[in-house]
Amino acid sequence: MTRNSYYITTPIYYPSDNLHIGHAYCTTVADSLARFHRTKGEDVFFLTGSDEHGLKIQRKAKEKGVTPIEYVDKIIANFKFLWKQLNISNNDFIRTSEERHHKVVQDTLQKIYDKGDIYKKNYEGLYCVPCESYWLERQLDENGCCPDCHRPVEKMQEESYFFKMSKYEEWWMSFIEENPDFIQPASRRNEMINFVKQGLEDLCITRTTFDWGVPVPFDSKHVVYVWFDALLNYLTGIKYGSDDAMFNKFWPASLHLVGKEIVRFHTIIWPIMLHAMGVEMPEKVYGHGWLVVDGDKMSKSKGNVIDPLALIDEFGADAIRYFLLREINLGSDGNFSRDALITRTNADLANDLGNLLHRTVSMIEKYHKGVVNDAGVSEAVDDELKTLAAATVENFIKDMDGMEINTAIKGVWAFISRANKYIDETAPWVLAKNPEKAARLETVMYNLAESLRIIAILVSPFIPSASPKIYTQLGLAVPEQFLLAEAKWGGLANGTKVAKGDPLYPRIEIAEDGSTIIGGKKYEPKVSAPAPAQEEPKFAMEPIKEEITFDVFEKMDLRVGKVIAAEKVKKSKKLLKLQVEIGPEVRTIVSGISQYYEPEAMIGKNVIVVANLAPAKLMGIESFGMLLAASDGQGNLVLADAPNMPSGARVK
């Protein structure tokens, strides 16, 4: 029996100060698959989240003089903001620091402990803090460093609990043999089999050297090792142990999509944990490749880390999504380049798709006052178009089911090209001059509009903001969910009235200085701002203003706000555009602090906002409120803040 539910997960991300395009890649792929399964009419649950515990986070928080939860909170707000900007349709966002997750981890540990699969022993080993992994001397690289990340390891000794992985080696081998599709692509399956053939060691699953983690229920000196904790998020997210109906509906997971470097954790440790717990196996783990930038691995020191938020701001979410999905073969490493992104966007989105819509709708308006009407005067070329439409839908489903996302996209664009060619072949402008061809012209226009209706459904998993716009221009009501069942020829009703709108995607022009011009707006090439000038303060106090009554003062509503995103306002030296969370709402506030605060440093900061100030436009951006700051009039400015207060709290 085929199930009508689909459960897809991304890895839960480590809270990283540097969001990069690699983060966006995995989530975009998962989102396109989730959306595809929704177009099949399936009940989809798409989970992503954050992996927040461990020594690394505890140390970073200490360095910054904040608690671990304060440190991660602001980073997670930034992640959530990115997913929103990227149009990610996750059903939930799980944080391992949440109570609901702690409960699942503790219950699981207790269960496996009671079964006798967890034991205590003294352990001495070489520990890699960034990877949160113990290594044996013989496993280190040629420089005596971590074999995964090649950074130095530290000698650590601690009393630890161990999970009896070795006990399940044979079970694992037979499970993998009986389920050849469990690990994908096949090359990664062979890697894993070779790894286990060398022998499985028991896994150290608790730590006493830090306390930022889930406490072990049967020994409170210990916290749970991050991977044992993290993997269980996939159960917490669908309410394992607290809502059987929900859990049974979505488990086993249809797909865990992960990066290639963490396939080992997901295909060896995870199935063995589940087996020890008596929980069914997930259906599939897929290890995708890595994204490199201009052929080079992304790294802070190389300065080639691409900030996805800046990219979305410039090119829009659809262009980024489309590029990542179209350009990269899922199982292999892929290259990100700005030039390639611009070329792809112009060719496929602005030209092929954008022009097809624009030409079609313009002609229907010009020739038929906007009304679509199939007069039934068909020619052979129409059959070719219709046959290709049906084959495109069929191949699209086959390719997406097989996770051949870029092949699926190529198929859809082949159909878009065919439809563009159909315009040239039928030459509607010639038909329009001949009254005897009036009925034929109507059919040609119908066929084009109908092609676009089907295209809108097919592109919805990849460029989700395009589909509603296409439907609207075609005069169709935008459905809550685009469905493949409706991608059958003939669904467009006669009498539908189209309505021309803005171009779907503006063409990206490149100016001589390397900046881009998109929809008439110029985007300067990114250069880092010089450090603020250090001057000797020569403070001269301004006279105090005239007295006001308490009633007047009380009219001012001051609130604590938390900055969740910040960017420089283009062409302005002074202004930063901020997204500020005030209780449940998020506001745009433009503030003249750019010379004093880098956008990155603003994220997570608590500020004081004049919350009931009438909106004002600054450099064309509407600003809803103002930040309070102290200024000495000599070029020094410090924002007023309220650390450790919840956003929305009143300032009196």
How far CA 643 is from CA of 543, 597, 640, 648, in Å, comes to: 30, 17, 10, 13
428 φ, ψ (degrees, to nearest 5): -55, -35
Amino acid at 535: E
Checking DSSP bridges between strand 626-627 and strand 621-623, what pairing results, if any?
unpaired
Structure tokens at 280: 């069914």
94 in contact with ligand ME8 (CB under 6 A): no
Give the residue closest to ligand ME8 by C-beta: 259
262 in contact with ligand ME8 (CB under 6 A): yes
Q: How far is the CB of 12 from ligand ME8 (least distance, A)?
A: 5
- Residue pair 252/259 in contact by the 8 Å Cβ criterion: no
Q: How far is the CB of 506 from ligand ME8 (least distance, A)?
A: 28
- Which residue in 19, 22, 58, 78 binds ligand ME8 (CB under 6 A)? 22
Bond from prior residue into 537 cis (ω within 30 degrees of 0): no
46 in contact with ligand ME8 (CB under 6 A): no
Residue nearer to ligand ME8 on the CB measure, 118 or 293: 293
- Residue pair 128/151 in contact by the 8 Å Cβ criterion: yes
Closest Cα to residue 599, out of 638, 569, 560?
569
Give the integer Cα–Cα distance in Å for 286 and 181.
Answer: 10
592 in contact with ligand ME8 (CB under 6 A): no
Q: How far is the CB of 302 from ligand ME8 (least distance, A)?
A: 13
- Residue pair 24/315 in contact by the 8 Å Cβ criterion: no
Q: How many residues bind ligand ME8 (CB under 6 A)?
A: 19
- Which residue in 6, 7, 8, 25 binds ligand ME8 (CB under 6 A)? 25
Q: How far is the CB of 457 from ligand ME8 (least distance, A)?
A: 29
- Which residue in 94, 231, 269, 476 binds ligand ME8 (CB under 6 A)? 231
The sign one gets for the Cα dihedral 259, 264, 269, 275 is positive
- Which residue in 6, 7, 19, 26 binds ligand ME8 (CB under 6 A)? 26
- Residue pair 556/612 in contact by the 8 Å Cβ criterion: yes
Residue nearer to ligand ME8 on the CB measure, 304 or 515: 304
Q: How far is the CB of 129 from ligand ME8 (least distance, A)?
A: 14
237 in contact with ligand ME8 (CB under 6 A): no
| φ/ψ bin of 520: left (φ > 0), alpha (ψ from -120 to 50), beta (otherwise) | left
Exposed, middle or buried, 283 (CB in 10 Å: 0-12/13-18/19+)? middle
117 in contact with ligand ME8 (CB under 6 A): no
12 in contact with ligand ME8 (CB under 6 A): yes
Single out the segment in contact with ligand ME8 by CB under 6 A; choices: 124-132, 227-235, 422-430, 553-561.
227-235
DSSP symbol at 395: H
Give the integer Cα–Cα distance in Å for 587 and 616.
Answer: 13
Residue nearer to ligand ME8 on the CB measure, 241 or 259: 259
- Which residue in 19, 28, 31, 51 binds ligand ME8 (CB under 6 A)? 51
Segments in 198-285 forming alpha helices (H): 226-231, 233-236, 244-250, 263-264, 270-277
Pattern 172-211, ligand ME8, x by CB under 6 A? ----------------------------------------
11 in contact with ligand ME8 (CB under 6 A): yes
Residue nearer to ligand ME8 on the CB measure, 68 or 475: 68
Residue nearer to ligand ME8 on the CB measure, 196 or 258: 258
Residue nearer to ligand ME8 on the CB measure, 261 or 585: 261
- Residue pair 609/580 in contact by the 8 Å Cβ criterion: yes
133 φ, ψ (degrees, to nearest 5): -135, 145
Single out the segment in contact with ligand ME8 by CB under 6 A; choices: 10-18, 54-62, 312-320, 441-449.
10-18
Q: Give the DSSP H/E element, type plus range, for residue 22.
A: helix 21-39
Q: How far is the CB of 95 from ligand ME8 (least distance, A)?
A: 12
DSSP symbol at 597: -
325 in contact with ligand ME8 (CB under 6 A): no
Structure tokens at 499: 């309505």
State the CB neighbour count (10 A cutoff) for residue 260. Answer: 18
Residue nearer to ligand ME8 on the CB measure, 11 or 604: 11
- Which residue in 6, 7, 13, 240 binds ligand ME8 (CB under 6 A)? 13
Give the integer Cα–Cα distance in Å for 154 and 157.
Answer: 10
Give the integer Cα–Cα distance in Å for 56 and 60.
Answer: 6
419 in contact with ligand ME8 (CB under 6 A): no
Q: How far is the CB of 539 from ligand ME8 (least distance, A)?
A: 46
Single out the segment in contact with ligand ME8 by CB under 6 A; choices: 74-82, 209-217, 226-234, 530-538.
226-234
Single out the segment in contact with ligand ME8 by CB under 6 A; choices: 153-161, 199-207, 258-266, 462-470.
258-266
Single out the segment in contact with ligand ME8 by CB under 6 A; choices: 23-31, 86-94, 501-509, 512-520.
23-31
- Residue pair 463/337 in contact by the 8 Å Cβ criterion: no
Residues whose CB falls within 8 Å of the CB of residue 215, separated by 6 or more in sequence, listed in order:
106, 222, 223, 224
- Which residue in 6, 7, 14, 135 binds ligand ME8 (CB under 6 A)? 14
Residue nearer to ligand ME8 on the CB measure, 127 or 413: 127
Residues 270-299 that bind ligand ME8 (CB under 6 A): 290-291, 298
Q: How far is the CB of 265 from ligand ME8 (least distance, A)?
A: 7
Exposed, middle or buried, 220 (CB in 10 Å: 0-12/13-18/19+)? exposed
Q: How far is the CB of 120 from ligand ME8 (least distance, A)?
A: 25
Residue nearer to ligand ME8 on the CB measure, 114 or 296: 296
Amino acid at 55: L
Structure tokens at 134: 């113990």
Q: How far is the CB of 141 from ligand ME8 (least distance, A)?
A: 19
Residues 534-553 that bind ligand ME8 (CB under 6 A): none
148-186 per-residue burial string, b: 16 or more CB within 10 A, e: under 16: eeeeebeebebebbbbbbeebeeebeeebeeeeebbbbe
Residue length of the chain: 652
Single out the segment in contact with ligand ME8 by CB under 6 A; choices: 9-17, 214-222, 406-414, 426-434.
9-17
Single out the segment in contact with ligand ME8 by CB under 6 A; choices: 17-25, 571-579, 613-621, 639-647.
17-25
Amino acid at 251: W
Give the integer Cα–Cα distance in Å for 341 and 556.
Answer: 47
- Residue pair 258/182 in contact by the 8 Å Cβ criterion: no
- Which residue in 258, 330, 463, 609 binds ligand ME8 (CB under 6 A)? 258
Structure tokens at 457: 């459904």
Could you list the residues that contact ligand ME8 (CB under 6 A)? 11-14, 22-23, 25-26, 51, 230-231, 233, 258-259, 261-262, 290-291, 298
